[in-house]
Amino acid sequence: MGSSGIIILAIIATSTATYISRFMGALTSEKVSVNSKIFKWFNCVAYSTLAALLGRMIIFPAGVLADSELIMRLIVFFTCIAIFIISKKNLVIPTVTSAILLSFLTNI
């Protein structure tokens, strides 16, 4: 099997696994109460995973983000957190600001 066949097989396998888990989640979602302990546990796991990924992106960046200094990434992070809080939890404004501020600080 050539390399393109392996790539296609990998795409099919990962897509199947993703869609089966989403389908099973859709089937069982009506039976899970929003206030149940299992729902709160999954919510905590999701937020902790997101926090870990965000921390990894800031501390150990990959790709183009690795070209910027750590202090610049931290300045952008804390500025955007402040903007998020001030803008009453608006996600668009800090996201756009982060891109603009990081490109500005990198080009200084």
**What would the pLDDT profile of 41-87 be if each residue is shown by its tens digit?**
988 999 999 999 999 999 999 888 888 999 999 999 999 999 999 99
- Whether the pLDDT of residue 1 is over 70: the answer is no
Reading phi first (left if > 0) and then psi (alpha if -120 to 50, else beta), residue 62 is in: beta
Q: What is the pLDDT of residue 24?
A: 85
Q: What is the pLDDT of residue 79?
A: 96
Is the separation of the CB atoms in 85 and 94 below 8 Å? no
**What would the pLDDT profile of 9-35 be if each residue is shown by its tens digit?**
999 999 998 899 888 888 877 777 888
DSSP string, the chain: --HHHHHHHHHHHHHHHHHHHHHHHHHHGGGS-TTSHHHHHHHHHHHHHHHHHHHHHHHS--GGGGGS-HHHHHHHHHHHHHHHHHTTS-SHHHHHHHHHHHHHHHH-
